[in-house]
Amino acid sequence: MTVVVSEKKSRCGYAAIIGRPNVGKSTLLNHVLGQKISITSRKPQTTRHNMLGIKTEENHQIIFVDTPGMHLGQDKAINRYMNRSASTAIRDVDVVVFVVDRCAWTEEDEAVARRLENCEIPVLIALNKVDQLDDKESLLPQIEQLLERVGASEIIPISALRGNNLDALEREIVKRLPVGEHFFPEDQITDRSSRFIAAEMVREKITRQLGDELPYQMNVEIEEFSQQGEVLHIGALILVERDGQKRILIGNKGDRIKQIGTDARGDMEALFGCKVMLRLWVKVKSGWSDDERALRSLGYDNL
């Protein structure tokens, strides 16, 4: 997808993608970049960390900040971490992209809107999932309501999943970026390490495989990441909080953990461009998701 901008001056800046859980933020980022770097699933709160996705064209560079979904009603340390990460991102960017569902406005959407009330940064609303509407004119009442609720500069109807109208969204972002040189090399697409992305790929497959069977008390650590000849060897430790969760994750005769490994290895080989030998094991670490010290040791450093 190529965005044409009439102004020839080089522009570079940060755009935070915010919104409630499971509204399509990570899907949007992956489609804009044309490559999967941010994990997705139908389960809310899949994204836990802010991640940069870098899109460079000839005369502009957009540094997208994919944030955890802002959510209500949960007060564990990990939930506080995710909300704080998303809130902090709003203060440190040049443009905010507020992703909302084309036909649903929830308490959590309202909570995000309240956080934007005194925002001095330009806000763009990405009205997602419009591909599921037969009558596009039915959007007009919602667009009017959104303009009343949020002081947005523009509302752009999109489909993150189908990639519809993302070029229009990108043009609106570029207009609002400051003039300046690019911060990152042209071929760099994220600030995260290969180890981090490998861990996220394993966590995505667990989330997709188990759905509601396994709560959010699950984390993945990469303990081995080494290239040996043409094979990349990756060892991942999966942390859960109870023995019962470990049994669910491993499955009958290890069938579930094997399928998770197969699915994750496929994504890793596509991303890293080589054969991957992936080993997974599961460990019980009670109470880690509500222990700020444990979370810091696991890389949740915004507590």
Same domain, 166 and 72: yes
My answer on whether 169 and 71 are in the same domain is: yes
Which domain range does residue 31 map to? 11-175
Give the C-alpha separation, 80 to 143, whole Å. 31
Query: Could you tell me if residue 100 is inside a domain?
Result: yes
β-strands 218-228, 95-101 pairing: unpaired
Domain closes at, from 141, 175, 209: 175
Write the pLDDT tens digit of every residue in 240-269.
888 888 999 999 999 999 999 999 999 999
Q: Are both 59 and 157 inside the same structural domain?
A: yes
Structural domain count, the chain: 2
Parallel, antiparallel or unpaired: strands 60-66 and 154-157: unpaired
Judgement on whether residues 112 and 157 belong to the same structural domain of the protein: yes
Q: Using 50, 70 and 90 to split pLDDT, how confident is the model at 131? A: confident
Write down the pLDDT at residue 107: 85
Distance CA 249, CA 241 (A): 12
C-beta separation of 15 from 37 below 8 A: no
Same-domain status, 166 and 255? no
Strand arrangement, sheet containing 275-284: 218-228, 231-240, 275-284
Of 145, 175, 205, which marks where a domain is finished?
Answer: 175
Same domain assignment for residues 39 and 146: yes
pTM of the model: 0.75
Determine the Cα–Cα distance for residues 154 and 11; give it in Å rounded to an integer: 20
Strands of 95-101's sheet in order across = 51-56, 60-66, 11-18, 95-101, 123-128, 154-157
Q: What is the pLDDT of residues 27-63, one digit of tens each?
A: 899 899 988 877 665 544 444 456 789 999 989 999 9
Q: What is the CATH number of the domain that holds 44?
A: 3.40.50.300
